[in-house]
């Protein structure tokens, strides 16, 4: 009996240490969230970004995408050029969480942009190679749970986008545990302490990875369905949607089926990837524009988008 009590006591202490350790990590991650990732800071301000844009005077343009538009667009320069061209004040804002694609865009747009008090005059979805052929909900479950899905959307994400018990369990864990949800953000910080210069090395490693231009049939079907969901929701809310194909290092073309869907159910497609061929040196990491490329892209976008906006009803 004494031996049993001793074993139970050891196990109890072990469990207590593990629980305390997990609680410590959870508290540390919640307190250090801003230092862990600038992208997390941006995501947590999406509601504020949409709200500030809604209160702005003049024509309000909201860009939604990922780091390609985040790095590629000079918002202030675009505002200035369009304001001069259209002869009205123009306000531009960007929602651009890193590595996101249509599934996450659908939920963050539905949550923050289609709020009655936050609708822009035009919604611009910017995408690169493979971005509209989406990952499954199982692959994006941590981001969905931690950032993009509101409580009143939980039923929809379980019914439409998550498959199997494992994905559901991960969603619940990520919903209640910030440390679990941000584990992909914590890992690079840890690796940077172990591998000197890891944060600078990572983009060079990613340069040689597949861009996502090659997709399977399942990704194509999911992407098409999600575009239909986004466009259907936007139509019901009366928000015009414009798509912009971003220049990126590797050569790529917009899928004909996706292009047809976009042109039939939105304001249209500005294919600046095709219209604005840029040399490889404009993409230091193989995908994102440098300062010179950003200026060229912004000027080209302004000249392409101005005629569309001028024809929109006030």
Question: Per residue in 211-220, pLDDT tens?
Answer: 444 555 566 6
Q: Which helix (H) or strand (E) holds 91?
A: strand 90-95
Cα–Cα distance, 4 to 14 (Å, whole number): 15
> In this predicted model, what pLDDT tens digit does every residue of 14-46 receive, in sequence order?
545 434 444 444 454 455 555 556 777 888 889
Report how many helices (DSSP H) and strands (DSSP E) the chain contains, helices first.
17, 5
Among 75-84, 109-118, 262-271, which range has the highest average pLDDT?
Answer: 75-84
Place of tokens 């862990």: 36
> In this predicted model, what pLDDT tens digit does every residue of 133-170 receive, in sequence order?
766 566 688 888 888 898 999 999 999 888 888 888 88
Q: Which of 17, 44, 16, 19 is nearest to 30 (CA)?
A: 44
Q: Which of 31-45, 50-64, 74-88, 118-132 has the lowest mean pLDDT?
A: 31-45
Cβ neighbours, 10 Å, residue 226? 21
Among 19-28, 74-83, 232-241, 247-256, which range has the highest average pLDDT?
Answer: 74-83
CA angle, corner 127, sides to 44 and 291, nearest 5?
Answer: 80
107 pLDDT band (50/70/90 cuts)?
very high
Could you tell me the CATH superfamily of domain 38-310? SGNH hydrolase (3.40.50.1110)
Domain segments of the chain as ranges: 1-31, 38-310
Question: In DSSP terms, which residues pair with 50 in a beta bridge?
Answer: none
Cβ atoms of 88 and 312 within 8 Å: the answer is no
**The two three-digit tokens of residue 6, written as one number:** 């001793």
Question: In DSSP terms, which residues pair with 269 in a beta bridge?
Answer: 243
Q: Which of 53, 81, 59, 61 is nearest to 297 (CA)?
A: 81
């Amino acid at each position: 009996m004494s031996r049993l009590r001793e074993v139970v006591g050891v196990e109890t202490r072990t469990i207590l240490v593990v629980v305390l350790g997990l609680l410590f990590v959870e508290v540390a991650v919640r307190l250090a969230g801003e230092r862990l990732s600038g992208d997390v800071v941006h995501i947590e301000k999406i509601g504020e970004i949409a709200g500030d844009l809604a209160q702005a005077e003049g024509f309000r343009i909201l860009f939604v995408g990922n780091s390609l538009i985040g790095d590629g667009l000079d918002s202030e320069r675009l505002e200035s050029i369009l304001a001069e061209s259209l002869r009205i004040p123009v306000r531009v804002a960007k929602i651009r969480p890193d590595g996101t694609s249509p599934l996450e865009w659908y939920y963050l747009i539905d949550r923050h942009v289609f709020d009655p008090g936050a609708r822009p005059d035009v919604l611009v979805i910017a995408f690169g190679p493979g971005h509209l052929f989406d990952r499954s909900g199982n692959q994006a479950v941590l981001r969905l749970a931690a950032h993009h899905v509101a409580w009143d959307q939980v039923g929809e994400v379980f019914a439409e986008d998550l498959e199997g018990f494992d994905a559901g369990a991960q969603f619940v864990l990520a919903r209640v545990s910030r440390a679990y949800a941000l584990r992909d953000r914590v890992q690079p910080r840890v690796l940077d302490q172990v591998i000197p210069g890891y944060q600078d090395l990572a983009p060079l490693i990613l340069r040689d990875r597949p861009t996502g231009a090659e997709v399977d049939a399942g990704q194509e079907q999911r992407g098409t369905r999600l575009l239909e969901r986004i466009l259907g929701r936007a139509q019901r809310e009366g928000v015009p949607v414009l798509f912009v194909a971003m220049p990126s290092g590797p050569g790529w073309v917009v899928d004909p089926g996706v292009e047809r869907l976009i042109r039939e159910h939105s304001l249209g497609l500005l294919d600046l990837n095709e219209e604005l061929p840029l040399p490889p040196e404009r993409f230091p990491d193989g995908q994102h524009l440098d300062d010179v490329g950003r200026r060229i892209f912004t000027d080209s976008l302004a000249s392409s988008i101005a005629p569309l906006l001028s024809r929109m009803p006030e």
